[in-house]
Structure 1
């Protein structure tokens, strides 16, 4: 398995796991209150921060193992990475537009922050999934 494919798997797992932890923390923090009154900012910041750190650590780990194995990224890896990133970025745009619409509708900050976070997670998962599919089935 190529270094970049391993990294894509790791980033997808990290994104899903981090978001699952965030959702559980927010739901537990609600404790019977309406969801918009749940404390979410701390959980949001910590899960994002830990996700970033986990992504960096996994990238370093896979980079070290790839160098020890004599593997380096080639043109195919760069193309797959670029196309996967472009596909994943679609959800960043969807998140931005959705957050803007919620802000114009004067929705609570809770919903604006959560739609942005969800779209960032979906962007990471979709981009990683696209890279994995490109590695497994090839690019069209």
Structure 2
């Protein structure tokens, strides 16, 4: 497994676990509370920061665990990355319509922020899935 594929797996793992943990935290506050009053900004920023830090740390750990793996990218890695980012871009472009529509409808900031966060998560996961499938199937 190339170092690029390992980083893609790490991205998929972090992109699944961190938003799921954030969702659990926010959903625990929903019962009996108006969503407009839920303090979501701090936990959301924390989850974004933890996602970035976790991806970096796990990529470093993966690189240290197998130092003999070449950290070079070849044409195949570049093509797989391009295809994955291309799909992620389109997923984000389509998913961004929802927060835009919510903002135009003057919906609570809670829903706008979460739909935008979901758009980023879906784009990252779609990109990672496309890359993993490409690495596995060729």
Q: Same fold (TM over 0.5)?
A: yes
With normalisation by structure 2, the TM-score equals: 0.90
RMSD: 1.7
Provide the secondary structure at the position in 2 that maps to 1:136.
helix
Aligned partners of 2:70 and 2:107: how far apart in 1?
Answer: 52
| Deviating more after overlay: 38-47 vs 54-63 | 54-63
Aligned partners of 1:106 and 1:94: how far apart in 2?
Answer: 20
Aligned partners of 1:133 and 1:101: how far apart in 2?
Answer: 32
With normalisation by structure 1, the TM-score equals: 0.89
Give the corresponding residue for 1:50.
Answer: 50
Unpaired segments of 5 or more residues in structure 1?
Answer: none
Q: Give yes or no for the alignment of 1:15 onto 2:12.
A: no
Q: Please report how far the alpha carbon of residue 84 of structure 1 lies from its aligned counterpart in structure 2 after TM superposition.
A: 0.5
Give the total of aligned pairs: 138
Distance 1:5 1:88, change over 3 A: same
Aligned partners of 2:61 and 2:78: how far apart in 1?
Answer: 19
Residues 3 and 70, structure 2, Cα contact 8 Å, conserved in 1: no
Residues 8 and 131, structure 2, Cα contact 8 Å, conserved in 1: yes
Provide the secondary structure at the position in 1 that maps to 2:4.
helix
**Residues 31-68 of structure 1, C-alpha deviation per residue, up to 9 Å, x if partnerless?**
42133432211110000010011112223333455653
Give the corresponding residue for 1:30.
Answer: 30
Q: Please report how far the alpha carbon of residue 129 of structure 1 lies from its aligned counterpart in structure 2 after TM superposition.
A: 0.3
Q: Give yes or no for the alignment of 1:125 onto 2:131.
A: no
Q: Please report how far the alpha carbon of residue 101 of structure 1 lies from its aligned counterpart in structure 2 after TM superposition.
A: 0.9
Give the corresponding residue for 1:111.
Answer: 111
